[in-house]
A and B are shown apart, each in its own frame.
Chain A
Amino acid sequence: MSEHLREEDFIHYVDGRLDEAERAELDRHLAACAGCRGRVDELRGLMGVLGEWQAAGPSPRFDAALRARLAEEPASAPPWFALRPAYAAALAAAAVLALGVYLWPPEVAGPMVVPPSVVPPPPPLARARPPVVARPRPGQPTVQVNDGLAAFNNPVLLENYELLEEFDVLFEPVTPEEKKSL
Chain B
Amino acid sequence: METSDQERMLRVRAGDREAFNVLAEKYRTPVVHFLYRMVRESALAEELAQEVFLRIYRARKSYRPRAKFSTWLFRIATNVALNSLRDGRMRKTLETSLDADTGQRPVPQRPLEVADPGGNVEQRMLEAERQEQIRRAVEALPEKQRLAVLLHKYQEMDYDEIADILDCSESALKSLLFRAYETLRVRLRPLLGART
Which of A10, A11, A52, A56 makes the CB contact (< 8 A) with B32?
A: A56
Q: Which residues of A contact B15 (CB under 8 A)?
A: 75
With A54-B113, A62-B46, A69-B50 known as contacts, the answer to whether A77 contacts B58 (CB < 8 A) is: yes
CA distance A59 to B17 in the complex (A): 22
Task: Determine how close the nearest CB of chain B comes to the CB of A86; give it in whole angstroms.
Answer: 18
User: Whose C-beta in chain A lies nearest to the C-beta of B194?
Assistant: A49
Task: Determine how close the nearest CB of chain A comes to the CB of B155; give it in whole angstroms.
Answer: 11
Please determine whether A11 and B110 come into contact, CB atoms closer than 8 angstroms: no
Please determine whether A55 and B154 come into contact, CB atoms closer than 8 angstroms: yes
Q: Which residues of A contact B34 (CB under 8 A)?
A: 55
Please determine whether B54 and A58 come into contact, CB atoms closer than 8 angstroms: no
CA distance A52 to B60 in the complex (A): 36
Task: Determine how close the nearest CB of chain A comes to the CB of B21; give it in whole angstroms.
Answer: 8
Q: Is residue B101 contacting chain A, with contact meaning CB distance below 8 A?
A: no
Q: Which residues of B contact A42 (CB under 8 A)?
A: 185, 192
Which of A48, A52, A73 makes the CB contact (< 8 A) with B54?
A: A73
The interface-forming segment of B3-11, B80-88, B131-139 is: B131-139
Q: Is residue B24 contacting chain A, with contact meaning CB distance below 8 A?
A: yes
User: Whose C-beta in chain A lies nearest to the C-beta of B47?
Assistant: A65
CA distance A65 to B45 in the complex (A): 14
| Chain B, 141-196, CB within 8 A of any chain A CB | 149, 152-154, 156, 158, 174-175, 177-178, 181, 184-185, 188, 191-193, 195
Task: Determine how close the nearest CB of chain B comes to the CB of A179; give it in whole angstroms.
Answer: 70
Q: Which residues of B contact A7 (CB under 8 A)?
A: 174-175, 178
Q: Is residue A43 contacting chain B, with contact meaning CB distance below 8 A?
A: yes
Interface size on A, residues (CB 8 A): 34
With A52-B131, A63-B28 known as contacts, the answer to whether A43 contacts B46 (CB < 8 A) is: no
Q: Which residues of A contact B29 (CB under 8 A)?
A: 57-58
Please determine whether A46 and B28 come into contact, CB atoms closer than 8 angstroms: no
Please determine whether A54 and B114 come into contact, CB atoms closer than 8 angstroms: yes
Which of B17, B61, B192 makes the CB contact (< 8 A) with A45?
A: B192
CA distance A43 to B185 in the complex (A): 7
CA distance A46 to B185 in the complex (A): 6
CA distance A15 to B154 in the complex (A): 11
CA distance A92 to B146 in the complex (A): 45
CA distance A54 to B17 in the complex (A): 32
Q: Which residues of A contact B57 (CB under 8 A)?
A: 70, 73
Q: Is residue A95 contacting chain B, with contact meaning CB distance below 8 A?
A: no
CA distance A11 to B33 in the complex (A): 22
Q: A8-B178, A53-B135, A55-B33 are known; give 20 further A-B pairs, CB within 8 A.
A: A8-B174, A11-B177, A11-B178, A52-B127, A52-B131, A52-B134, A55-B32, A55-B154, A56-B112, A57-B32, A57-B33, A58-B29, A58-B46, A62-B46, A63-B25, A65-B46, A66-B24, A66-B28, A70-B17, A73-B54
Q: Which residues of B contact A (CB under 8 A)?
A: 15, 17, 20-21, 24-25, 28-29, 32-34, 36-37, 42, 45-46, 49-50, 53-54, 57-58, 60-61, 108-110, 112-115, 127, 130-131, 134-135, 138, 149, 152-154, 156, 158, 174-175, 177-178, 181, 184-185, 188, 191-193, 195
- Can you sample 17 A-B contacts with CB below 8 Å? A8-B174, A10-B178, A46-B188, A46-B192, A50-B134, A53-B131, A54-B114, A55-B32, A55-B37, A55-B113, A56-B110, A57-B113, A58-B32, A63-B24, A63-B25, A73-B57, A76-B61
